[in-house]
Amino acid sequence: MTQKNDIRWLPGFNWVTLFFFLFLYLPLIILVVFSFNASRSATVWSGFSLEWYVKAFANDDIQRATKNSLIIAVFATVFATTMATMAALALSRNRAVKNKSLFGGVLILPLMVPEIVTAVATLTFFSAIGLSLGLGNIIIAHSVFCIPFAYLPIRARLDGMDESLEAAARDLYSNKWDTLRLITLPLLMPGILSGAMLAFIISLDDFIITLMVAEAGSTTLPIYIYSLVRVGITPEVNAISTVLLGVSVLIVTAAYLVEKKK
């Protein structure tokens, strides 16, 4: 590319870029900064302190909500990733499956359905069939909407994999199961891990659907944070949010690195 065509050489490029990133990240930076504030104020800086982190970690309600969130996220991730892997294998490798693109489309359609609609539909459905499993309800709901998120990276990885590798394994005396176990799954693992991490984050962060289907005692972290905010913003909320943010960034980064690795 010549210098002339490179947008980096357009006048004002640096300022526009700076403004863009501030616009994206300034709220998050302020949130993180004030989680270390010494006073109760969420807007006036008065010194560095880890007090709010200590308080947040000692809070029984937060501990309970975090535990719920993690249980839900782990189970939903395992279910969703398993389903997504099977769906990807069927749609990418099984010659007997007809209408592959139709099924593939239907599978990722939930990504485009407004979340509030899914939430209301799930709530209505659960009460219609009288399902009341406590955390189980939320796990089922999360498993369902996490499937497309887990499916996409797995399918992408599978489509990028040379099918002749599986043919070579069959040719070298492996039956279908051994081929899946020894060749397909090991090579697919980065996609599966990346899909699983994505599902985990989506489940951990979910608010609307959880709010609808959560029964008493099934409060998750995002819902607890919301209830705190309604009382008034304290640096304690900032502290929990910062931890949640840190976990998300960590997992998404790991997912990215795993997927990039050959």
| Residues forming the site for other proteins (CB under 8 A) | 162, 164-165, 167-175, 178, 183, 186-187, 262
Tokens of 211: 């709010």
Give the nearest distance from C-beta 62 to other proteins in angstroms: 42
**Of the two residues 109 and 182, which places its CB atom closer to other proteins in the complex?**
182
**φ, ψ dihedrals at 37, nearest 5°:** -75, 145
Give the nearest distance from C-beta 224 to other proteins in angstroms: 43
Length in residues, the chain:
262
Give the nearest distance from C-beta 69 to other proteins in angstroms: 34
Give the nearest distance from C-beta 178 to other proteins in angstroms: 7
- What is the phi-psi region of residue 232: left when phi exceeds 0, alpha when psi lies from -120 to 50, beta otherwise? left
Give the nearest distance from C-beta 175 to other proteins in angstroms: 5
| Long-range Cβ pairs for the range 185-189 (8 Å, 24+) | 187/161, 188/85, 188/154, 188/157, 188/158, 188/161
Give the nearest distance from C-beta 207 to other proteins in angstroms: 39
**Of the two residues 165 and 250, which places its CB atom closer to other proteins in the complex?**
165
Classify residue 175 as exposed, middle or buried by CB count within 10 Å of its CB (0-12, 13-18, 19+). exposed
**Of the two residues 230 and 262, which places its CB atom closer to other proteins in the complex?**
262
Tokens of 143: 């498993």
Asked if 190 and 259 count as a contact pair (C-beta separation under 8 A), the reply is yes
**Of the two residues 41 and 175, which places its CB atom closer to other proteins in the complex?**
175
Asked if 194 and 153 count as a contact pair (C-beta separation under 8 A), the reply is yes
**Of the two residues 68 and 179, which places its CB atom closer to other proteins in the complex?**
179
**Of the two residues 28 and 172, which places its CB atom closer to other proteins in the complex?**
172
Classify residue 161 as exposed, middle or buried by CB count within 10 Å of its CB (0-12, 13-18, 19+). middle
Distances (CA, A) of 189 to 152, 183, 184, 199: 14, 10, 9, 15
